A and B are shown apart, each in its own frame.
With several copies, the nearest count.
Chain A
Amino acid sequence: MTSSEMLTEGVELMVLGMGSVFAFLIALVFVTNIMSSVLTRFFPEVLPAPKPAPKRAAASASIEPEVIAVIGAAIKQHRARRN
């Protein structure tokens, strides 16, 4: 291949390549949008309601980080013993 052929080939590849990438991803945008609108229109998914029972939630929230910390510490301690 001569050097000018090589350059032509490169330009051609770039145009075709970027073109194909864009064509493909634009097609994907369309298809994805269609899927999403079909789904939301015809098969609406009942989204999980925001957690009710704020009282219980608050209570659990106040417990959890502590418990998580304790578990974490326990695991760390356990590992430390093992090594």
Chain B
Amino acid sequence: MDKLFELWQTTGIYQIELGQLIMILICLVMIYLAIRKGFEPLLLIPIGFGGILANMPVAGMAESGGLLYMFYEVGLLTTVFPLLIFMGVGAMTDFGPMLANPRTLLLGAAAQFGIFGTLLGALALTAWGIPGFEFTMKEAASIAIIGGADGPTSIYVTSQLAPHLLGPIAVAAYAYMALVPMLQPPIMRALTTEKERAITMTQLRVVSKTEKIIFPILLLLLVAMLLPSAAPLVGMLCFGNLMRECGVVERLADTARNALINIVTIALGLAVGSKLNSEAFLQLTTLGILVLGAVAFCAGTAAGVLMAKLMNLLSKQQINPLIGSAGVSAVPMAARVSNKLGLEANSQNFLLMHAMGPNVAGVIGSAVAAGILLNFVG
């Protein structure tokens, strides 16, 4: 009978706390959205499942010695996982459309206003003492990077500046990336005229193999010279891309963008999930993070579109301002949104390839912004 009572005491029903129950429900919603609505399933399913595992009482998978804890310690706090993901992203990315029209890099730059504007906003709200917004400089910077619309960059920065916020920030980053098709179009429509949206762009020139090979090296050297604190992220992106483009290490590139990135994604997702505990997540600040994240996405989108309009004022080679919003990255969703709205305005207006330029530029832009934040705040 003692043993039976002992057994009862070790059941989850006996031991579970309300916070854990709520977190499990949140994770179930996350998994539902990932499966049924297609919300970034590659990350949100491991994160959500990791969250459930982390919130089971007794099992202790997110505590010292547990599997999720080990993934977190070995791969996340060390930044190994996000850097390997960036290498894989590099091995998947075709910088061709951007090289055919390098001016689109400026759109990727403008969209980073989402990051820095949000940083200012977070600090202002904290300064004014609004409830839910009580952030230190490091926390504010980690939250602001959500506006970079780039999951691994967010995780990389947060793991170094404010690891206790990793759960809510990573979830917000991927959730908003999934919401891009809903968040962006209203802003894009509000800031453009029907005529602007119908602008067709000339076909992109063919980019030679050599340009594609030299570009990642050039980018790395420029980062090394100007902004070395962004070098780990940008460096691994360039390494992956060089493997992809150089043509002589296809087997390495293939592994980097398949087996390796998949393994790391599983482990990274579980590690992030391990931080979805109620103490960190069920806070008023989480609401603040979600609000700021949404603001960041919208600000970045708006800045990208407005930059495109500014460029049209200054140059006679017109670009469709719809591709400006793709500068927030969220590859390739944001570019697809640009394409869709372009087709709505003019059924012959295929913007996809044109939007891929600012889209990949946004990846570089937010990695650069991450470097700047780590430099000043870290």
Residues of A within 8 A of B (CB): 1, 3-4, 6-7, 9-14, 16-18, 20-29, 31-33, 35-36, 39-40, 43, 45, 47, 83
Q: Contact check, A43 vs B116: say whether CB atoms are below 8 A apart.
A: no
In the complex, 14 of the A-B residue pairs with CB atoms within 8 angstroms, ordered by the A residue number, are A3-B126, A3-B127, A6-B137, A7-B123, A7-B127, A13-B373, A14-B116, A16-B376, A17-B373, A18-B109, A21-B112, A21-B369, A24-B368, A29-B106
Interface of A is mostly: helix
Residues of B within 8 A of A43 (CB): 210
Q: Contact check, A24 vs B123: say whether CB atoms are below 8 A apart.
A: no
Q: Contact check, A14 vs B117: say whether CB atoms are below 8 A apart.
A: yes
Distance (whole angstroms) from the CB of A42 to the closest CB of chain B: 11
Q: Contact check, B126 vs A25: say whether CB atoms are below 8 A apart.
A: no
Report Cα–Cα, A11/B140, bound state, in Å: 13
Report Cα–Cα, A40/B214, bound state, in Å: 13
Q: Contact check, A39 vs B119: say whether CB atoms are below 8 A apart.
A: no
Residues of B within 8 A of A (CB): 3-4, 7, 94, 99, 102-103, 105-106, 108-110, 112-113, 115-117, 119-120, 122-124, 126-129, 137, 140, 206, 208-211, 214-215, 218-219, 222-223, 226-227, 361, 364-365, 368-369, 372-373, 376-377
Distance (whole angstroms) from the CB of B251 to the closest CB of chain A: 14
Chain B: CB-nearest residue to A34:
B218
Q: Contact check, B116 vs A13: say whether CB atoms are below 8 A apart.
A: yes
Report Cα–Cα, A26/B103, bound state, in Å: 8
Q: Contact check, B361 vs A25: say whether CB atoms are below 8 A apart.
A: yes
Report Cα–Cα, A1/B123, bound state, in Å: 11
Q: Contact check, B117 vs A35: say whether CB atoms are below 8 A apart.
A: no
Residues of B within 8 A of A26 (CB): 105-106, 109
Distance (whole angstroms) from the CB of A8 to the closest CB of chain B: 9
Q: Which of A1, A3, A21, A35 contacts B365 (CB 8 A)?
A: A21
Q: Contact check, A10 vs B368: say whether CB atoms are below 8 A apart.
A: no
Q: Contact check, B103 vs A12: say whether CB atoms are below 8 A apart.
A: no
7 interchain residue pairs of minimum CB distance:
A3-B127, A10-B123, A25-B109, A45-B208, A10-B120, A14-B116, A17-B116
Distance (whole angstroms) from the CB of A9 to the closest CB of chain B: 7
Chain A: CB-nearest residue to B369:
A21
Chain B: CB-nearest residue to A5:
B127
Report Cα–Cα, A83/B108, bound state, in Å: 21
Q: Contact check, A29 vs B127: say whether CB atoms are below 8 A apart.
A: no
Distance (whole angstroms) from the CB of A53 to the closest CB of chain B: 21
Chain B: CB-nearest residue to A32:
B102
Q: Contact check, B214 vs A35: say whether CB atoms are below 8 A apart.
A: yes
Q: Contact check, A25 vs B108: say whether CB atoms are below 8 A apart.
A: yes
